[in-house]
Amino acid sequence: KAGVTQTPRYLIKTRGQQVTLSCSPISGHRSVSWYQQTPGQGLQFLFEYFSETQRNKGNFPGRFSGRQFSNSRSEMNVSTLELGDSALYLCASSPIVNTEAFFGQGTRLTVV
Amino acid sequence: GEDVEQSLFLSVREGDSSVINCTYTDSSSTYLYWYKQEPGAGLQLLTYIFSNMDMKQDQRLTVLLNKKDKHLSLRIADTQTGDSAIYFCAEIPSGNTGKLIFGQGTTLQVKP
């Protein structure tokens, strides 16, 4: 069974641009959640989706948004990028909510 | 509040046992998790324990849960150099959907 796939693995963007990251969960998993990892703040929860509905959201500005498609694949979007958005963005999938969560390799975003 | 605490660094000799400790805040958490992160990689789910268990063993890994003290530990027997990584404990607080709260991570250094 394939694991969680995140694309792209690396991304360099300029301040003010926007970016879209993609996550394909493990086949059959319906819950997808997103996290931001930085050296200063550690791992912080962004949002969680289940059956195309956002059910939980972390404490991030509205520039961070996401969605989930009917095949459970998910995307997250960050608009008007700031230098502080440079981070490793991790996606996790779970078969059902609040059980074991499996993470992808992450997307390393660098904002210059 | 939501808070998971871990010590930041642990150094052991190859072949010794390692014990990584964690304290969490929500006594209603259903699952508690241990993840491993190697440089440049995502999070690997090592093991998890249900809150109604005291102990779980999986090959070289032993998880102990003390619900009264809200204390979780991960013991790695016969630690190898390949075990060098950052280890995160995490909980999902009650009333939350798909939101893992992570500790700061414990860097395990294994000396040959």
Q: Among partner residues B42, B98, B103, which is closest to A48 by beta-carbon distance? A: B98
- Residue B1 pLDDT exceeds 60: no
Residue B34 has pLDDT above 80, yes or no: yes
User: For B36-77, how does the pLDDT look when each residue is reduced to its tens digit (9 = 90+)?
Assistant: 999 989 999 999 998 889 999 999 999 999 999 999 999 999
Q: Which of B3, B6, B97 to mutate to test the interface with A (most CBs of A within 10 A)?
A: B97
Is residue B57 helix, strand or coil? strand
Taking residues A82-100, report their average pLDDT: 91
Average of per-residue pLDDT across B91-111: 89
**Mean pLDDT along residues A18-26:** 98
A50: pLDDT strictly greater than 90: yes
- Report the distance separating Cα B30 and Cα B43, nearest Å: 20
- What is the predicted pLDDT for the residue at B98? 81
Residue B1 carries which DSSP code? Answer: -
